[in-house]
């Protein structure tokens, strides 16, 4: 049931309506392009690459997604070469709670979402980027790390 819910949620986020007569039906030949962004260092409480592999498998087994995983550098490493092309995907699944991103990368994600790109924030990924105002607005919730009600409702 969780797999079905996750798959339907990602598909719905991408604007896929399986009931609309004129909507292209996603399939193996017309897949929904999804980028999973994870990080190898995300605190001691999750193994992000393992979670990303499970998410990728779940989506791909649905038969309507083409999934790419982009793993960020470790904390303290150079982020200059970590430049995922968000615009190449219909949805970005953020499976990430690691180092803050450089301003340019944050701006790219903001523009992607403003342009209609889908963003799915999985589980503890809502903990990421506590001082990034636009991220807090995109997720709509507060979490940990000194967030207040200004970041969104605390769950």
Give me the CATH number covering residue 54.
Answer: 3.40.50.880
Q: Do 136 and 147 touch, CB atoms closer than 8 A?
A: yes
The confidence score (pLDDT) of residue 155 equals 57
Give the count of domains, the chain.
1
Establish if 153 belongs to a structural domain.
Answer: no
- The CA distance from 111 to 129, in Å, is 17
β-strand partners of 74:
none
Which pLDDT tens digit goes with each residue over 19-60?
Answer: 455 657 787 788 999 999 988 655 556 777 788 899 999 999
- The CA distance from 4 to 143, in Å, is 26
- The CA distance from 154 to 34, in Å, is 28
Establish if 112 belongs to a structural domain.
Answer: yes
Establish if 73 belongs to a structural domain.
Answer: yes
The confidence score (pLDDT) of residue 112 equals 97
Task: Read off the pTM.
Answer: 0.81
The confidence score (pLDDT) of residue 17 equals 45
Residue 38 domain boundaries: 28-139
Establish if 1 belongs to a structural domain.
Answer: no
């Amino acid at each position: 049931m969780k797999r079905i819910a996750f798959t339907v949620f990602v598909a719905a986020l991408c604007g896929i309506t399986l009931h609309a007569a004129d909507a292209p039906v996603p399939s193996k030949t017309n897949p929904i392009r999804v980028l999973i962004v994870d990080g190898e260092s995300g605190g001691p409480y999750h193994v992000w690459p393992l979670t990303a592999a499970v998410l990728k498998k779940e989506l791909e087994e649905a038969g309507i997604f083409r999934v790419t995983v982009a793993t960020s550098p470790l904390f303290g490493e150079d982020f200059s070469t970590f430049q995922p092309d968000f615009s190449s995907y219909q949805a970005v699944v953020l499976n990430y709670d690691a180092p803050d991103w450089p301003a340019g990368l944050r701006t790219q994600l903001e523009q992607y979402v403003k342009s209609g790109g889908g963003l799915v924030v999985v589980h503890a990924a809502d903990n990421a980027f506590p001082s990034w105002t636009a991220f807090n607005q995109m997720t709509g919730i507060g979490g940990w790390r000194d967030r207040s009600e200004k970041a969104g409702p605390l769950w």
